[in-house]
Amino acid sequence: MHTKPEILKKELIAKSRLFGIERVELRFSNGEEREYERLRSPSIPAVMMVALKDDATVLLIREYACGTDDYQLTLPKGAMDLGETVFEAANRELMEEVGYGARKLTELKKLTLSPGYMGHSIHLVLAEDLYEQRIEGDEPEPLQVIEHSLENINDLVAATDFTEARALAALYIVRDIIRARQQ
């Protein structure tokens, strides 16, 4: 087991409305010192849901992604509001983005993206026993909701507009859970 490096100094070197960049000076257990830069972790956690209409059908959304400047097919997700639990946020985001709530929510795993330079993480939640319920969200335009077969993940892997690694990992995790239940 490695000993975590000692943080000698942290300094905010750039900041925008959404992001902060930190310079971090570290000393490793062998005495080696290094300087890293990282995106500061957001103070607000996020949730991503695999919403199952039934054991074979997952609900996806198509939304504009500014980072890639294109429309992307992905899973519903969003930031938690102050004071919300993971499940409250997951259900609210589902109602806002796909027009369904869930009677059964299960937190599966915390996922990260590029942990070498970002502390961003998202709580993966399986949403089942859905019921129709839409509430107003903060999206700038209506999202397209697409039903997709959970068994046909390979179609999504081949799709040029399905590129979010966290969503792909989430679908494989849930597909394996459903397969195990059916045995």
What would the pLDDT profile of 144-154 be if each residue is shown by its tens digit? 999 999 999 99
Q: Domain locations in the chain?
A: 6-39, 46-182
CATH of domain 46-182: 3.90.79.10
pLDDT of 77 reads 97
pTM: 0.88
Q: In what order do the strands lie in the sheet with 6-15?
A: 6-15, 20-27, 33-39
State the Cα–Cα distance between residues 173 and 123, nearest whole angstrom: 13
